[in-house]
Amino acid sequence: MKVRIDVMLKNGVLDPQGKAIGHALTTLGFKGVGEVRVGKSVVVEIEETDPAKATQAAEEMAKKILANLVIEDFRVTVL
């Protein structure tokens, strides 16, 4: 079973990478580009058939190494 863990900076935390992409898009001619925020997504294959257990394992992974909970939020999706 595959789960996806999306990690994004919390609202209010400065995102210089997003800012840079926003500037680049505007420079390239895209109109009406507002805030841009960048996150990472990690897709993990887990040997587990129960979606609830897979979600729980993915949440633990996120808390332990994938997300820095001081500045980042995460969300788990079963694929």
Sign of CA dihedral 12, 6, 69, 20: negative
Residue 67 near a copy of itself by CB under 8 A? no
Residue 57 near a copy of itself by CB under 8 A? yes
Residue 30 near a copy of itself by CB under 8 A? yes
Residue 48 near a copy of itself by CB under 8 A? yes
Answer for which of 13, 60, 63, 71 binds a copy of itself (CB under 8 A) is 60
Residue 73 near a copy of itself by CB under 8 A? no
Longest dimension (CA), the chain: 47
Residue 18 near a copy of itself by CB under 8 A? yes
Answer for which of 39, 59, 76, 78 binds a copy of itself (CB under 8 A) is 39
Cα distances (Å, whole numbers) of residue 28 to 11, 35, 37: 26, 16, 18
For residues 46 and 1, the answer to whether their CB atoms sit within 8 Å is yes
